[in-house]
Amino acid sequence: MEQVQLRPDERIDQLYRNHIQIIQSDAVFSFSLDAVMLAHFANVKRSAKAQIVDLCAGNGAVGLFLSQKTHGQITEVEIQSRLCDMAERSVQLNQLEQQVRVVHADLNDSLHYFAKESVDAVTVNPPYFPVKVTSKKNPNPYLAIARHELKTNLTQVVTTASDLLKTGGKLFMVHRPDRLPEILAELQAHRLAPKEIQFVYPRADQDANMVLIAARKDGQSSGLKVRPAVVVYAGETYTPFVQELLYGSK
């Protein structure tokens, strides 16, 4: 691992399962389980010719985790310059400069960097919460943009993903279950056929708080599969599946 300069509020965390190190900051942004789940869920091509784009990349966690599953080129697109800087230094920290690049851009401008319908896979962990007059937004502007649809929204995310993906390409998204009907409608309106869904539950007796969705560009409308549910906690400890996902096999 290379040495990189850290700001006073930053630290280096590690996903022990695949030894990826990531620069984090509680004052700005830290990845959470949804990023780990999305990277695990995404079934990307291993070929070095594969083109993979991670939208709403944050500090680059999803793209860095995906680098262990593919030899393809990964591009992380993020609108916040501070998070791009963190992501770029994490790429250097893991010596992945030949595979992963970070683009500081509004996702609506993604086609300035890629030919239309040229990408094999798109991953996205978008802002979950629509902006309403009554919405309570995080006072931290970095977190507010990451969590609320202040700079983009579901329609723009899905439209961009569809524009990027080649026919047969796949979109992998993590989102909130309460927006699933809206998500499915947007996918179908933009040539993306839902193919897999997986719900994530905090505990076995609680409602799901996360949903993972895979869709195929110009795929057939039939054939949707619901994967086995994931439960995060058993009591106060991680379930064996999540434990292995975060820390690897003992």
pLDDT confidence bin for 136, thresholds 50/70/90:
low
Superfamily name and number for 11-247? Vaccinia Virus protein VP39 (3.40.50.150)
Confidence of residue 129 (pLDDT cuts 50, 70, 90): confident
What average pLDDT does range 235-250 have in this prediction?
A: 90
- Which residue from 214, 244, 212 is spatially nearest to 229, judged by alpha carbons? 212
Find out whether 82 and 142 touch, Cβ atoms under 8 Å.
yes
The neighbouring-strand residues paired with 131 are none
> Does residue 135 register a pLDDT over 70?
no
Domain boundaries, the chain: 11-247
Return the amino acid letter for 107.
Answer: L
Task: Give the pLDDT band of residue 248 (cuts 50, 70, 90).
Answer: confident
Per-residue confidence (pLDDT) for residue 128, from 0 to 100? 86
Lowest-pLDDT range of 30-34, 78-82, 143-147: 143-147
Q: How far apart are alpha carbons 73 and 78 in whole angstroms? A: 16
pLDDT in tens, 143-199: 777 776 778 899 999 999 999 999 999 999 999 999 999 999 999 999 999 999 999
Quote the CA–CA distance of 245 and 145 in Å, as a whole number.
27
Strand residues in 81-217 grouped as ranges (E): 100-104, 119-124, 165-175, 192-201, 210-217
List, in sequence order, every beta strand (DSSP E) within 119-207: 119-124, 165-175, 192-201
- Global pTM reads 0.94
